[in-house]
Structures are given as C-alpha cells and as structure tokens.
Amino acid sequence: MTWETVIGLEVHTQLSTCSKIFSGASTAYGAEPNTQADAVSIALPGVLPVLNKGAVERAIKFGLATGAHIAPRSVFARKNYFYPDLPKGYQISQFDLPVVGMGQLKIQVEPLSGNAKPYEKLVRITRAHLEEDAGKSVHGAAQGMTGVDLNRAGTPLLEIVSEPDMCSAAEAVAYAKALHTLVRWIGISDGNMQEGSFRCDVNVSVRRKGEPLGTRREIKNLNSFKFMQQAIDFEVQWQIDTIESGGKVQQATVLFNPDTGETRAMRSKEDAHDYRYFPDPDLLPLSITPQMIDEIRSAMPELPEARRMRYMEQYALTSYDASMLTSSREMADYFDSCVSNLGMTKLAANWITGEVSAQLNREGLEIAQCPVSPKQLGGMLARIADNTISNSGAKEVFRTLWSEGGDADAIIEAKGLKQVSDAGAIEALVDEILNANADKVAEYRSGKEKLFGFFVGLAMKASKGKANPAQLNDILQKKLAV
C-alpha cells in the first residue's frame, strides 16, 4: 500500500519593528523581565491599542514579495482564551479579513534520500495576518507559582499560513527555509530562530493514494529545520503505523522532543479551539491605500528568486551555486561585490560556496562577519584567474587573509607563492627529472601509467610547489609520450 503525506505550515515571524504592534514599548530581545511591559502590554484597564505603521508596512512588503493580494480593508479580531501570559484574556489577531491574501513562493527541493534529483515547486500561501505575540511563562520561578514576563507581549507577528501543498519533510523544510530567507531578505524580520523570531507549526496527515484527506495532527513550535525534518519523519511513520495496525488518528496538537526524536500529544485543553473570534471594538478597520502600496513596492529589493535566476542566466552559474549564493541577501551582496568582472563569476561562486562557507561554518560565523572582505577575496581571485597563484597557493593566501588580513598581492610576494608559469623553466625542470629517473620513464612508457603522479610529485617538489599544475601536466605528458 502506498501512502501519501500532506503537509501545511503555519509560521509565526516576529516583525523587526522597534516598538510593539499596539503600543510604544520597546521590542528589543533579552531585556530584564517586564522592563518593556508597558500599560498596554500588561493590559491595565482603560488602555487602548494604537496600530504601529511599521508593522503594517512589513506585512505589505511580505504580500508584495509573494505576489499576494493586499487587502484594501482588513479587520482586527479578538481571539479569546485564558492563559497567564495573555493578560487581556484575548489575543488581538485577524480572522476573516486578513491584511495579506493568497500568494505563492517558489522553492528548491533537495530530496533527502537516494538518488532523487533536486526539483522546483510552487507552494501556495493561503494568507498572512498581523497579530500580537504573547508573553512568556517561566515555570518553577517560585514554589507552586508560575512567573510571567510580558516583555514579549505585544511584539508584532506576521502569521503566514500555507496551503497543504507539501508532501514530504524535504518539501516542508525547503519551504520553511525559503520563507526564512525571504523575510530576512526583505528586512521584515531578523529571523533569529533561537530567539523565537521564526517559529513553525506543521500540520501533518497521511492518506492512502487516491483517498480523501486524513486526520491531521499539528506539531507545535519547531524552531530548527533539523528538528522539523525529524519531527515530520517520526510523525508520518507514527500515523501510518497507527492506521495499519487498525487504529485511528485523532486530531491533536503534538510536541516534538528533540532528545527522543518523538512527537507526543499534549494533554488536550478542553474547548481549546473555541476561540469565539469577534471584531475588536477597540480597533477600527485598517485601510491600505494604493499609494501606500506603490510607495513600498518602489523600495522593494530584487527578490531572492529573481536574483537566483539572474545568476543562472547572466553568469551561467549552476542552479545549486545560484541557490547557495542567494540563501541570504548578505551572501548575495558579498558575491556581487566580489565579482568585479564577469570572467570571475564561476571562480567567485566556487570559493564563496566552498572554502569561505566552510571556514565560516567551522567558526560559527555569518557571512556578514567574514573577516575576509569581498574586496580582499576579489583581489585573491584575480591572482588565481591570471595564473599568478595555484589553487594550493590560493588556499594559503586565503588562510593568511582570514587570520592576519592584508592584501593578496602583498601576501603572495611575502610568502613567495607566485607560481612558475614560464614554459621554458618548467620544461627544464621536467627534463632534469626525467633524465635522473630514466628507469621509471622506461617503466612508464612500457605501460605503467600510474607513475605519472610520481613525476608530478617530483616536479612539484623541485619547484617548491610553485609550478603551474596545468602547465606541468601538459609538458610532462608531452615529454613522456615521446
């Protein structure tokens, strides 16, 4: 029996405004508890919400970036439930009239298993709406008590709801990553997952091929892509096992435990979904004019997908390289400022996605913190391109640029890394080696071809590693063939 998986995502992304969505309290992360919880955040009687223009602008930006309809009129609603980190007893959200309507996002899927090839997919985004974040409960703050920190209460959120268009963990992760790249790229969120700026809820169901949709379970609050993949894999297998052994999947909210790699149903809160939404009488309908949209549109940056396509068309980069380079705007900008002439695009792509990224990963740095500036790297790439240094020489230059700074030309000079590309000099060197090893030359010519490496090694050693490898190979091959 073949099973199909159906996945939809709800992503809560904190918007990067400096003040809260309905008040002028700061949203800075990491402050002392409740020092950023003003009268509105703690819901003192008589306070009124006043909507933050910055939050609305960011929602519009997102709508434009996903080709969505921006509602000229949208409405805030109260979502009622009781929890200590929500002192009003309701969350201000949007219900039937959200600010952003149906849009879409193109994703690049890297299948996780086997020899399957990467592919492209379009995921529909049902809607995106503005709402306020809740505070944080601190359990075990005092004996028998729960502590409440309301600094986060009122931080603007954009909740982005997808259609159930994904059918594997790989697709869900690819979508979440593309969304994560996008919100940072257009500057509406810092996307910091450790700090909770980008939180994913994943709805998963399974069905036998051709049957109607199965019952879904919602995995709450995933804050890493790795956990998302593990949680979905476990959940899918659990649902299939449950049904195949004669059971039924009950609709539920589940939590993922990273230590065990398992998902487990939360104790179901009675009437948890009876939120009794109604329009918030404290807030008038939000009106968005075409002028406001045009103003924001004119300031939109080139989007990651457009930049990716441009790299492939204009620079003839592979889809993989183009995706890697557009994984963040900082990375793409780094690449752009590195590439001072078109001839070096492939070389720059290789270095940035290879050596530079590897070194950043090793040291846990972001591209924006890279100690080697694009100008410094570009200077080095130019010396690779004009054959001044070999690849291994370049690695040494790069290590020096990374740890000591400076510029490539000076390092090449100081360390004597200039490679010998003078054909005459290399020929002389090769002749000397072949003469001194006549026995090996005879063996090679009688068919022992793997000796070629032996000659290359000797020649490199004789040149102190400076011989141009491509030229050396050519000359050796020619001389040995005679």
Partner 1 sequence: MSLSTDDVQKVARLARLAMNDDEIEAARSQLSGIFQLIEEMQAVDTSGIEPMSHAQDLTQRLREDRVTEPDQRELFQSIAPQVSSGLYLVPQVIE
Residues near partner 1, by CB under 8 A: 17-19, 23-26, 32-39, 42, 44, 50-56, 73, 75, 80, 82-84, 97, 137-139, 141-142, 144-150, 266-267, 270-271, 274, 276, 279, 281, 283-287
- Nearest Cα to Cα of residue 263 among 216, 230, 240, 241: 230
Nearest approach, Cβ of 32 to partner 1 (angstroms)?
Answer: 6
Residue (94 or 327) nearer to partner 1, CB = 94
φ and ψ at residue 149, rounded to 5 degrees: -115, 115
Structure tokens at 164: 């159930």
Nearest approach, Cβ of 128 to partner 1 (angstroms)?
Answer: 18
Nearest approach, Cβ of 158 to partner 1 (angstroms)?
Answer: 15
φ and ψ at residue 108, rounded to 5 degrees: -105, 115
Torsion of CA 71, 77, 81, 84, to 10 degrees: 90
Structure tokens at 149: 């920190």
Measured at the CA of 40, the angle between CA 36 and CA 42, to 5 degrees, comes to: 70
Determine the Cα–Cα distance for residues 402 and 76; give it in Å rounded to an integer.
51
Residue (237 or 268) nearer to partner 1, CB = 268
Give the distance from CA 431 to its chain's centroid: 53
Nearest approach, Cβ of 468 to partner 1 (angstroms)?
Answer: 58
Residue (24 or 67) nearer to partner 1, CB = 24
Residue (170 or 286) nearer to partner 1, CB = 286
Give the distance from CA 124 to its chain's centroid: 19
The answer to whether residues 61 and 188 touch, using CB atoms and an 8 Å cutoff, is yes
Residue (142 or 438) nearer to partner 1, CB = 142
Residue (140 or 246) nearer to partner 1, CB = 140
Determine the Cα–Cα distance for residues 174 and 245; give it in Å rounded to an integer.
31
Measured at the CA of 59, the angle between CA 155 and CA 169, to 5 degrees, comes to: 85
Nearest approach, Cβ of 60 to partner 1 (angstroms)?
Answer: 12
Structure tokens at 290: 């075409």
Nearest approach, Cβ of 73 to partner 1 (angstroms)?
Answer: 8
Measured at the CA of 325, the angle between CA 342 and CA 111, to 5 degrees, comes to: 130
Determine the Cα–Cα distance for residues 397 and 412; give it in Å rounded to an integer.
7
Residue (209 or 267) nearer to partner 1, CB = 267
Cross-sheet strand order for the sheet of 90-94: 90-94, 76-80, 278-279
Nearest approach, Cβ of 359 to partner 1 (angstroms)?
Answer: 37
Location of structure tokens 């309908």: 285
Residue (25 or 472) nearer to partner 1, CB = 25
Nearest approach, Cβ of 181 to partner 1 (angstroms)?
Answer: 24
Residue (37 or 169) nearer to partner 1, CB = 37
The answer to whether residues 92 and 78 touch, using CB atoms and an 8 Å cutoff, is yes
Nearest approach, Cβ of 201 to partner 1 (angstroms)?
Answer: 16
Structure tokens at 127: 């809607």
Write the CA distances from 445 to 185, 348, 452, integer angstroms.
Answer: 59, 40, 10
Nearest approach, Cβ of 51 to partner 1 (angstroms)?
Answer: 5
Give the distance from CA 471 to its chain's centroid: 41
Nearest approach, Cβ of 82 to partner 1 (angstroms)?
Answer: 6
Residue (158 or 426) nearer to partner 1, CB = 158
Determine the Cα–Cα distance for residues 102 and 56; give it in Å rounded to an integer.
17
Amino acid identity of 477?
Q
Residue (146 or 237) nearer to partner 1, CB = 146
The answer to whether residues 235 and 204 touch, using CB atoms and an 8 Å cutoff, is yes
